[in-house]
Structure 1
Amino acid sequence: MRVAASKKEAPAPLPGQPTYWAEACKHLAKKDRVMKRLIPQYSDAVLQSRGDAFATLARSVVGQQISVKAAQRVWERFSALPETLTPEQVLRLRVDDMRAAGLSARKVEYIVDLALHFDGGRLQPERWSGMDDEAIIAELVAIRGIGRWTAEMFLIFHLLRPNVLPLDDIGLIRGISQNYFSGEPVSRSDAREVAQAWRPWCSVATWYIWRSLDPLPVNY
Structure 2
Amino acid sequence: MHCPDMRLQRPAYWDEACDHLVQRDRILKKLIPMYGQECIQRPQGPYQTLIRIIVGQQISLALGRKLWRQLVQDCGPELHPECILSRTEAELRSLGLSLRKAQYVRDAAQYFQQASWLDGAWWQAQDNSAIVARLCEIRGVGRWSAEMFLIFFLGRPDVLPLDDTALLKAISCHYFSGEPVSRFEAREVAQAWAPWRTVASWYLWRSLDAAAVEY
Q: Same fold per TM (> 0.5)? A: yes
Q: Which moved more, 1:31-40 or 1:92-101?
A: 92-101
Residue 161 (structure 2) aligns with:
166
1:212 paired with 2:201, answer no
2:12 maps to which of 19, 29, 36: 19
Q: Distance in 2 between matches of 1:212 and 1:201?
A: 17
User: What is the percent sequence identity of the aligned residues?
Assistant: 49
The letter for the 2-side match of 1:98 is L
Q: Which one has a bigger Cα radius of gyration?
A: 1
1:115 paired with 2:89, answer no
Backbone CA RMSD of aligned residues: 1.9
The letter for the 2-side match of 1:37 is K
Residue 153 (structure 1) aligns with:
148
Residue 55 (structure 2) aligns with:
62
1:103 paired with 2:82, answer no
- 8 Å Cα contact 1:16/1:51 also seen in 2: no
The letter for the 1-side match of 2:50 is L
- 8 Å Cα contact 1:172/1:206 also seen in 2: yes
Counting matched residue pairs gives 210
Deviation per CA, 1:130-180, whole angstroms, max 9, x where unpaired? 111111101111110000000000000000000000000000001000000
Other structure's SS at 1:113 match:
helix
Normalising by structure 1, what TM-score?
A: 0.90
- 1:117-136 → structure 2 map (5 Å cutoff): 117-121=111-115, 124-125=118-119, 126-136=121-131
Q: Distance in 2 between matches of 1:194 and 1:103?
A: 36
- Cα deviation for residue 194 of structure 1 reads 0.5
1:186 maps to which of 141, 157, 181: 181
Unaligned runs of 5+ in 1: 1-9
Unaligned runs of 5+ in 2: none
- 8 Å Cα contact 1:38/1:208 also seen in 2: yes
Normalising by structure 2, what TM-score?
A: 0.92
